[in-house]
């Protein structure tokens, strides 16, 4: 069967020439064309079925044809075409709803791996200001007012929920303007800054290539009123351990379960290597921190995240850990579009999506509270010893997890100034 053998209605034809349809396999395209010519589908229904077809393929579930025919077999065959279509479409929607409402399950062998693209370093970048705002900073959530320095643009990793490489493709851009500004910029010495470098790339994966870490650490040395956070999913701590660095630096690791790392955090360092690197950093006297972000809901999430928390508790003392954060999967609509266009095997979109205060799509409040409470309780031995917070969450969620929340973002930011001062006093 081929799409040429079907005369797709004119009202639907533009959906077959752009968007997701051209990215589907020939078999998927043929089946959708068959539906378009057999049933009186509306424009929105056809677009929805195209998206369902893409999602099922990415989730490595049986294709839309199997789902549709299974539902159709239970619908009375004598119904008029419009009524029959409505009944089948309603059944398909229910099945898709079941997929996203039920905890997803990853195959023991793991999902198929995407192809790793080769990357090349280039100099350049836009002539932007040295320090930018966190892109999710907002008065609508309890926010720490993190600032960012984007000296490198693009990442060596391929996390399914991130689309950095979509913007930069096969080029890693070292921003000469930023590196120069690091040496020449003067900051207000009376003001505190919490600055991260892991927004448009991983902070440590490139090591000191092009002098990146050397210049960033010199900037932290020059400005003792900042807390410089190097956030990573790598194990590349050799430069930090082998060279002097100022006290106002913290290395933070994004941690996840082995299931999520294997299936959704492609090309990143395995959990074992991340923890070993954090251990080396702590042994070298470097402050470490851990971000459990994103916490992903799946069938074994409690078992796996509980084991992960136990391991961190066992391998580190509270005196070595500056802070812990908890966060969830959150998407803006353009990122959902890019993930589907990329089409790599992933179950990250197999979840219920609820709008947050910014219009982003994430887990429901009830789901978030459940997961955050679990992780907070898992670290009960460190309560009142290690600073813990939620990333990008509303005050009401803080209150249900911790029993309190910061009244202003400035008060929250002040906690990080205290953490920085604790390092300076060591």
Residues 284-319: tens digit of each pLDDT: 999 999 999 999 999 999 999 999 999 999 999 999
**Alpha helix ranges (H) inside 284-332:** 301-315
Length of the chain equals 426
DSSP conformation class of 8: -
**How much helix, strand and coil, in percent to the nearest 5, is found in the chain?**
45, 15, 40
Predicted TM-score (pTM) of the model is 0.94
Q: Angle of helix 43-58 relative to helix 333-342, nearest 10 degrees?
A: 60
**Rounded to the nearest 10 degrees, how much is the dihedral formed by the CA atoms of 266, 271, 273, 276?**
160
- Per-residue model confidence (pLDDT) at position 7: 78
For 120, the enclosing helix (H) or strand (E) is: strand 120-124
Helix (H, G, I), strand (E, B) or coil at 127: coil
- 177 Cβ neighbours under 8 A, 6+ residues apart: 125, 126, 127, 128
- Per-residue model confidence (pLDDT) at position 5: 47
CA-to-CA separations, 6 to 31, 38, 48, 76, 77, in angstroms, rounded: 10, 9, 19, 25, 22
Contact 204, 251 (CB under 8 A): yes
| Residue 184 confidence (pLDDT) above 90 | no
| Residue 336 confidence (pLDDT) above 70 | yes
Q: Taking residues 113-134, what's their average pLDDT? A: 81
Give me the DSSP letters along 346-392: --TT-S--EE-TTS-EE--HHHHHHHHHHHHHHTGGGTTTSEEEESS
Residues 214-261: tens digit of each pLDDT: 999 999 999 999 999 999 999 999 999 999 999 999 999 999 999 999
Q: Which two tokens stand for residue 193?
A: 């800054």
Contact 232, 198 (CB under 8 A): yes
- Per-residue model confidence (pLDDT) at position 424: 80
Cross-strand bridge partners of residue 193: 226
| Count of CB atoms situated within 10 Å of the CB of 77 | 7
Q: Which domains does the chain have, with CATH numbers?
A: 3-101 (no CATH), 120-424 (3.80.30.30)
Instruction: Tokens 């096969």: give the residue.
Output: 170
Compute φ and ψ for 8, nearest 5 degrees: -65, 130
DSSP conformation class of 383: T
Residues 372-406: tens digit of each pLDDT: 999 999 999 999 999 999 998 999 999 999 999 99
- Per-residue model confidence (pLDDT) at position 209: 92
d(CA 198, CA 241): 19
Q: Which two tokens stand for residue 420?
A: 């920085």
Instruction: Tokens 């926010």: give the residue.
Output: 143
| Residue 126 confidence (pLDDT) above 90 | no
Contact 59, 99 (CB under 8 A): yes
Looking at the chain, the whole-number percentage of residues with pLDDT higher than 70 is 98
- Per-residue model confidence (pLDDT) at position 1: 39
Average pLDDT, the chain: 93
């Amino acid at each position: 069967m081929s799409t040429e053998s079907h005369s797709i209605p004119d009202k639907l034809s533009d959906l077959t020439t752009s968007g997701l349809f051209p990215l589907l396999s020939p078999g998927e395209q043929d089946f959708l064309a068959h539906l378009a010519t057999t049933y009186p589908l509306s424009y929105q229904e056809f677009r929805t079925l195209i998206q369902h077809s893409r999602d099922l393929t990415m989730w490595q579930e049986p294709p839309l044809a199997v789902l549709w025919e299974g539902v159709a077999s239970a619908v009375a065959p004598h119904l008029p075409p419009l009524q029959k279509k409505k009944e089948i479409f309603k059944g398909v929607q229910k099945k898709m709803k079941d997929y996203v409402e039920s905890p997803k399950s990853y195959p023991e062998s793991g999902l198929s791996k995407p192809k790793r693209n080769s990357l090349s370093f280039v100099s350049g970048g836009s002539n932007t200001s040295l320090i930018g705002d966190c892109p999710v900073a907002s008065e609508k959530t309890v926010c720490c007012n993190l600032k960012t320095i984007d000296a490198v643009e693009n990442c060596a990793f391929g996390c399914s929920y991130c689309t950095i490489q979509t913007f930069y493709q096969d080029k890693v851009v070292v921003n000469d303007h930023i590196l120069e500004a690091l040496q020449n910029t003067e900051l207000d010495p009376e003001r505190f800054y919490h600055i991260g470098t892991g927004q448009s790339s991983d902070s440590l994966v490139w090591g000191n290539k092009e002098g990146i870490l050397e210049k960033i650490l010199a900037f932290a040395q020059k400005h003792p009123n900042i807390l410089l956070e190097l956030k990573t999913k790598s194990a590349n701590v050799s430069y930090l351990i082998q060279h002097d660095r100022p006290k106002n630096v913290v290395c933070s690791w994004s941690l996840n379960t082995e299931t999520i790392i294997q299936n959704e955090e492609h090309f990143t360092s395995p959990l074992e290597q991340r923890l070993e690197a954090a251990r080396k950093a702590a042994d070298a006297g470097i402050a470490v921190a851990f971000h459990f972000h994103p916490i992903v809901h799946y069938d074994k999430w409690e078992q796996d995240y509980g084991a992960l928390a136990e391991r961190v508790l066992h391998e580190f003392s509270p005196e070595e850990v500056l802070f812990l954060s908890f966060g969830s999967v959150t998407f803006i609509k353009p990122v959902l579009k890019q993930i589907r266009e990329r089409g790599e095997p992933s179950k990250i979109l197999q979840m219920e999506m609820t709008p947050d205060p910014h219009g982003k799509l994430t887990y429901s409040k009830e789901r978030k509270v459940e997961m955050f409470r679990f992780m907070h309780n898992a670290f009960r031995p460190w309560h009142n010893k290690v600073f813990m917070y939620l990333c990008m969450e509303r005050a009401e969620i803080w209150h249900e997890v911790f029993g309190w929340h910061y009244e202003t973002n400035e008060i929250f930011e002040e906690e990080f100034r205290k953490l920085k001062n604790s390092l300076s006093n060591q």
